[in-house]
Amino acid sequence: MTTIEKPAYKVIGTRPIRPDGVEKVTGKALYGADVHLPDLVHGAVLRSPHAHARIRSIDTSAAEALPSVLAVVTHADLPAVADTVIDTGEGVTRASDMSLNVLAGDKALYRGHAVAAVAATSAHEALAALDAIAVDYEPLPPVLSVRDAMRADAPLLDENRRTKQPDGALSDGPSNVAAHSRFEGGDLEAAFADADAVVEREFDTKMVHQGYIEPHNGTANWNPDGTLTVWTSTQGAFAVRAMLAELLRLPVSRIRVVPMEIGGGFGGKIGIYLEPLAALLSRECGRPVQLTMDRTDVFQATGPTSGGHMKGRLAVKDGVITAAEVSLAFEAGAFPGSPVMAGAMCMLSPYDVANFRVDAYDVVVNKPKVAAYRAPGAPNAAFCVEQLIDELAREANADPLAFRLRNSAREGTRMITGVAHPRIGHEETIGAARDSDHYQSPIEGPNRGRGVASGFWFNAGMQSSVVASVNPDGTVNLIEGSTDIGGTRASLAMQLAETLGIPYDDVRPTVADTDSVGHNDVTGGSRTAYASGQAVYEAGLDIQRQLVERAARLWECEAEDVSFVDGELRHASDADRRLTFAELAGKQMETGGPLQGRGSVVARSPGAAYGVHVVDVEVDPDTGKVDILRYTIAQDAGTAVHPAYVEGQMQGGVVQGIGWALNEEYYYNEDGRMENASFLDYRMPTSLDLPMIDTIIVEVPNPGHPYGVRGVGEVPIVPPLAAIANAIHDATGHRFTELPISPRRVVEELHHLR
């Protein structure tokens, strides 16, 4: 596929108003919790108060006897699932684990684990009815960290779990380690022996939540004919449909999932929690049922991403990174599936490192099962590696960006997986950060410091399909199936307008339900503008082909004599024969009937994303508070379709990273109770905590996309943890290796030094 020269673009690169904008600024847009249906009833979920407990029995009879209660369900109401795995497009989960996660079976595996669900005449009545359910628990000792979970004498979450080892064999004895993977290359010991300098440290991070403002919701109507309709806020309606089909043992065709507007996801709204419960309750009571979570439920029972323990050892020789030995152990939560492999595969990908050994451990603990969170696994791993690289640069007396540039991966460099990079933009991105006004300005004053870090994310491709219908007035309706979380209706409409040579406002995009459009994988993996954009482009080409054929028919010439240029049909030799897109659109009945274009793709060349961040901080040594004084992010977007929303992704990712670095954590007591399960205590960044976030969009076109688009959404969260830690080291001379670098930690560690 060839990349079109950028200067030719008319629509791409502009900043039009998003098609769903007016609805969203006037409060008219309908999110999942805004669904109101005739006869709708509400539900509530009973959750385990224990982090680890055997469930001896559940007695729901008193609740069922209440006049307001319409239905009660427990795990016993779920059918036995097939021994299969469900691929949601951003992670693979065993169906049995998913079934046990949505409603606990013999064991509650984390505090907040759903145990039963009730439907009643109102949300208040449903909540009150939970008190009437009697659960007999046998509390068990919880396992709350990877270090504890990996001990030989650790209590086991699942007595039957064996470790899948690097060679694929299962361990002899049971373990909380679900999998151990390894990547090796070169001659590690020789490289360390020959090094000018070696740096080695251990790092610890805590679980953090995606923190979307809209809580999870699910509304279901089980019809008497055995069909099921589900309205929900999800990143992937087709993934929800697939998961429901497995959990409820229904044919896919019997389930219609209607994607409502979504109030943030960041990876956390791919899995399902409430949807199957609402479906079971609806089946039992014969009425549509709506479930919503409160914020405490969201913290305790959804998301988060892994915390864990990391150990790294890096070597430098003549300014070149010659060796890396890194071990990562990530908390998966109650069921296997941490993003440790992704972290392992990302952390060295900005660089060319010849000798390496990387170990990755996926470890279950008595905490919620983790969900994807923006470049899953990569920020934690970068927190480890990018700090060690900062130290290596100091050892090599090199500027940290110059050191990164010297060691940068480029086209052809092999990643630790053995796969060679295609055209990537890490070097260009380093250059943009280096040349920025920010990096070129000195940082002055006591307790101030500057840090930098690089980040890599694969980006995903996967499947997308769209249909575009041409209207008689020359406008186009674009039917797509990608949840719009941050402006993708606009970026897809723009790509179709570009392809058809028509104004952006003439394309009206709609995100359709699962009955109304072909399969689309999740809005995740930074894939939508890229992969659905490619599907949109294919649909545009399909329309172009048909327009050419129709013009040839009208002009009674060969199709080869007709070309489509700048939104116009032109005859090769007769300059008078011209039809605008709108003119031909108005002749559909006489040229072959309604005109539709289709695009279906398996996008396989997403083009990796790189970001290089520069941050200045000021540390108050008395209070421990760290202020972000200035932040600049340079990122390769390939081609920025809608630069304002590209900047928005960059800024939003950075700020989530700032929260992760400085404040956010799941704070557990020894019983496994999360002590800060509210927005007030979890304390995400507010507008008052931040400066403006300066953005530099670098454009190294992705050769795998017709317009050169690369995914942009995830990589901006990768560098901030390390960049901020590097800046704090620059300010204080102290290296912080545990997150979050909260005021308490800063005071404790700095004063201990004194």
Site residues for another protein per CB under 8 A? 15, 17-18, 20-22, 24-31, 33-34, 36, 67-68, 121-122, 124-125, 210-215, 261-266, 292, 294-295, 485-487, 642, 644-645, 647-649, 651-656, 678-680, 684-688, 690, 692-693
> CA 367, CA 298: separation in Å to the nearest integer?
13
Q: In this structure, what is the dihedral angle of CA atoms 260, 263, 266, 268, given to the nearest 10 degrees? A: -70
Which C-beta is closer to another protein: that of 68 or that of 737?
68
Smallest distance, another protein to C-beta of residue 692, A = 5
Which C-beta is closer to another protein: that of 329 or that of 375?
375
Which C-beta is closer to another protein: that of 36 or that of 56?
36
- Residue among 391, 529, 551, 612 nearest 12 (CA): 529
* Paired tokens of 303: 């998301």
Which C-beta is closer to another protein: that of 357 or that of 642?
642
Smallest distance, another protein to C-beta of residue 602, A = 27
> CA 589, CA 186: separation in Å to the nearest integer?
66
Which C-beta is closer to another protein: that of 301 or that of 467?
301
Strand order, beta sheet including 609-619? 448-457, 609-619, 626-636, 693-698
Smallest distance, another protein to C-beta of residue 27, A = 2
Smallest distance, another protein to C-beta of residue 28, A = 7
Smallest distance, another protein to C-beta of residue 502, A = 22
Which C-beta is closer to another protein: that of 210 or that of 380?
210
> CA 731, CA 729: separation in Å to the nearest integer?
5
End-to-end Cα separation, the chain, in angstroms: 61
Three-state secondary structure along 156-187?
A: CCCCCCEEECCCCCEEEEECCEEEEEEEEECC
Smallest distance, another protein to C-beta of residue 24, A = 4
Which C-beta is closer to another protein: that of 118 or that of 179?
118
CA 331, 335, 341, 347 torsion-angle sign: negative
Smallest distance, another protein to C-beta of residue 336, A = 27
> CA 545, CA 499: separation in Å to the nearest integer?
12
Which C-beta is closer to another protein: that of 22 or that of 190?
22
Which C-beta is closer to another protein: that of 96 or that of 233?
233
Smallest distance, another protein to C-beta of residue 326, A = 30
Which C-beta is closer to another protein: that of 53 or that of 237?
237
Question: What distances in angstroms separate CA 678 from CA 211, 295, 300, 742, one per listed residue?
Answer: 10, 6, 10, 17
Which C-beta is closer to another protein: that of 52 or that of 216?
216
Non-local (6+) Cβ contacts of 598 within 8 A are 465, 466, 467, 468, 538, 539, 542
Which C-beta is closer to another protein: that of 635 or that of 656?
656
Which C-beta is closer to another protein: that of 601 or that of 662?
662
* Paired tokens of 50: 């224990």
Smallest distance, another protein to C-beta of residue 442, A = 24
Smallest distance, another protein to C-beta of residue 211, A = 5
Which C-beta is closer to another protein: that of 32 or that of 337?
32
Smallest distance, another protein to C-beta of residue 441, A = 19
Which C-beta is closer to another protein: that of 196 or that of 689?
689
CA 489, 490, 496, 497 torsion-angle sign: positive
Smallest distance, another protein to C-beta of residue 297, A = 11
> CA 139, CA 257: separation in Å to the nearest integer?
38
Which C-beta is closer to another protein: that of 70 or that of 405?
70
Question: What distances in angstroms separate CA 30 from CA 36, 89, 125, 409, one per listed residue?
Answer: 10, 26, 25, 45
479: left (phi over 0), alpha (psi -120 to 50) or beta: beta
Smallest distance, another protein to C-beta of residue 685, A = 8
- The alpha carbon of residue 704 and the mean position of all alpha carbons in its chain are separated, in whole angstroms, by 21
Three-state secondary structure along 126-149?
A: HHHHHHHCEEEEEECCCCCCHHHH
> CA 302, CA 608: separation in Å to the nearest integer?
28
Q: Say if CB 298 and CB 359 are below 8 A apart.
A: no
Smallest distance, another protein to C-beta of residue 689, A = 8
Chain position carrying tokens 């069921």 = 335
Non-local (6+) Cβ contacts of 630 within 8 A are 438, 614, 615, 616, 691, 694
Which C-beta is closer to another protein: that of 120 or that of 470?
120
Burial 705-738 (b: 16+ CB within 10 A, else e): bbbbbbbbbbbbbbbbbbbbbbbbbbbbeebbbb
The DSSP element (H or E) to which 662 belongs, if any, is helix 643-662
CA 742, 744, 745, 750 torsion-angle sign: positive
- The alpha carbon of residue 434 and the mean position of all alpha carbons in its chain are separated, in whole angstroms, by 28
Phi, psi of 595 (to 5 degrees): -105, 120
> CA 507, CA 700: separation in Å to the nearest integer?
27
Smallest distance, another protein to C-beta of residue 628, A = 11
Q: In this structure, what is the dihedral angle of CA atoms 32, 36, 42, 45, given to the nearest 10 degrees? A: 0
Question: What distances in angstroms separate CA 594 from CA 1, 204, 517, 536, 562, one per listed residue?
Answer: 30, 60, 17, 18, 20
Smallest distance, another protein to C-beta of residue 267, A = 12
Smallest distance, another protein to C-beta of residue 206, A = 18
> CA 65, CA 72: separation in Å to the nearest integer?
10
